[in-house]
Amino acid sequence: MNFEGWGPQRWAIHFNQMLNLANPPNRYRFDVGRLAMETSRAMFPADPITKVEEEDLDGFAGSLVPADSRTRWGIAFGRGQSSGRRRFTIAHEFGHFLLHRKKFPNGIHSSEAAVDGRTKLEVEREANEFASWLLMPLDDFRKQIAPKDKPDFDAIGACADRYEVSLVAAALRWLRYTERRAVLVTSVDGFIKWAWSSEIALKSGVFIRTSRGPVELPGGSAVGQELFTPEARTGIDHPAGVWFNQPTKEHSFRSEKYDTAYTLLHLGDAEPKSWAEEEPLEDTFQRFMRR
């Protein structure tokens, strides 16, 4: 088989087809490290992955490193990761192996932000795309949460369990295909660490920019007032002006383990944008034909 030119999604679909055929018990909670070692040995006998191990990585989440001989690769994941984060890290490094090892013969180290999917670096984005498509196949995920659903943290948490990934990984996966306007926000001590909007939310101007420094949580929000009640988790309706300039449903809770608050925001349907009639269509058409 010729794998040249295969992108992240193509690779993930390939392995999902294999897994669907094999249909092992715990189909969606399979051992990613074993998959990486066994399939790379069969497909790339000249330089397979022969080691997947926990290591002290000095702040990195994961790495793909060649052996001295350059005929073997090892995947390392940092200590203390939950099983869900560990699976995503290993899948991410497996993605680097499949997609980038020729370009980076000395290996790749991945930061935590890179493995979370918050970086814009092309290789990191591709490795994450592979990992999330591998661990959370779209056809199955869409059966759990339909593109027009408005899931709460229980629904997203059920997916995190199903695919044995972190809550954030499952939420980001859903945000990438939802047809709803929604935003995921993580915050620490009253400040937003980062936020991610669904595509349709982004297009309608609903996003929070954190690249220019810390952003304070809105004072009227549940998370801003540290109201981590069951109601806040189930969902609180806010009028326009609390979050953005439109009514928003907020779901918030705090994870003691990570000392981080998670907030899911659901907005209403976007108002259909009317287009400005700057020039008659005919003129545009004629100008186009003259080129």
Residues that bind Zn ion (CB under 5 A): 110, 114, 124, 127
Nearer CB in complex with Zn ion: 57/156:
57
Tokens of 18: 């294999």
What are the φ/ψ torsions at residue 59 (nearest 5 degrees)? 90, -15
Any alpha helices (H) in 44-162, and if so which ranges? 83-100, 112-116, 122-135, 138-144, 153-162
Tokens of 231: 């109601």
Nearer CB in complex with Zn ion: 124/250:
124
Q: Is 72 exposed, middle or buried (0-12, 13-18, 19+ CB in 10 A)?
A: middle
Orientation angle between helical segments 83-100 and 32-43, nearest 10 degrees: 20
Q: Least CB distance from residue 49 to Zn ion, whole Å?
A: 15
50-57, long-range: CB < 8 A, 24+ apart = 50/74, 51/75, 52/76, 52/77, 52/90, 53/77, 54/78, 54/79, 54/86, 55/79, 57/109
Q: Least CB distance from residue 122 to Zn ion, whole Å?
A: 11
Nearer CB in complex with Zn ion: 76/127:
127
Nearer CB in complex with Zn ion: 117/151:
117
Name the strands in the sheet holding 191-197, side by side, starting at the edge strand that comes first in the sequence.
Answer: 215-216, 191-197, 182-188, 260-267, 248-255, 236-238
Residue type, 30: F
Nearer CB in complex with Zn ion: 91/192:
91
Q: Least CB distance from residue 95 to Zn ion, whole Å?
A: 8
Q: Least CB distance from residue 42 to Zn ion, whole Å?
A: 24
In angstroms, the CA 50 to CA 48 distance is 6
Q: Least CB distance from residue 124 to Zn ion, whole Å?
A: 5
Q: Least CB distance from residue 91 to Zn ion, whole Å?
A: 11
Chain residue at closest Cβ approach to Zn ion: 110
Nearer CB in complex with Zn ion: 114/206:
114
Tokens of 225: 């007032």
